[in-house]
Amino acid sequence: MSIKKLDDGRYEVDIRPRGRDGKRIRRKFERKAEAVAFERYTIAYASQKEWAGQRADRRTLSELLDIWWKYHGQNHEHGTKEFNHLLKTISGIGDIPVSRMSKRALMDYRSMRLRDGISAATINRDMYRLSGMFTKLIQLDEFSGQHPIPTDCRHWRRPTLK
């Protein structure tokens, strides 16, 4: 890994970010600052394939709940109560992989609970808890990608008949 000054005043970066058996990258720059920035960027992001996109997260909701419990819930004042509520919500939705979590699954869960006579406020609290679990997992870098609970799903209300 080196940056060397060429005879014409430019700078050449010559690196192998994945070691001696990895791909060799050579670039020329007008300024040394650009060369240093390129070298640092290349080394930092050598293992990430930005062009490939993110893989679908195949973990189930209960697996994510266990991770939430391990890193956050057990230290929370009302963690056990929250865990039990989340477990009930997840069993109601179905222990599906998070990649299959959709607005439709949440709407089906909501309509089923409303049919059972559960108030809209209780269901909204369930959505807040589930949303909070994902928010905490994102903060802890245990879940990457878009938040699976759409913002508008958190504020659904029971339709009123006129």
> What percent of the chain is helix, strand and coil (3-state, nearest 5)?
55, 10, 35
pLDDT tens per residue, range 111-162: 999 999 999 999 999 999 999 999 999 999 888 878 888 766 545 555 554 4
* Burial zone of 55 (CB within 10 Å; 0-12 exposed, 13-18 middle, 19+ buried): exposed
Asked if residue 103 and residue 145 are part of one domain, the reply reads yes
2-5, strands of its sheet edge to edge: 2-5, 11-15, 25-29
Asked if residue 81 and residue 33 are part of one domain, the reply reads no
Q: Is residue 162 part of a domain?
A: no
Residue 77 belongs to what domain range?
Answer: 61-155
Identity of the amino acid at 123? I
Query: How many angstroms separate the CA atoms of 116 and 101, rounded?
Result: 22
CA 32 to chain centroid: 36
Tell me the whole-structure pTM to 2 decimals: 0.63
Query: How many angstroms separate the CA atoms of 110 and 5, rounded?
Result: 65
- Read off the CATH number of the domain in which 127 is found: 1.10.150
pLDDT tens per residue, range 43-83: 887 766 655 566 777 899 999 999 999 999 999 889 999 99
Q: Which of 45, 54, 49 is nearest to 17 (CA)?
A: 45
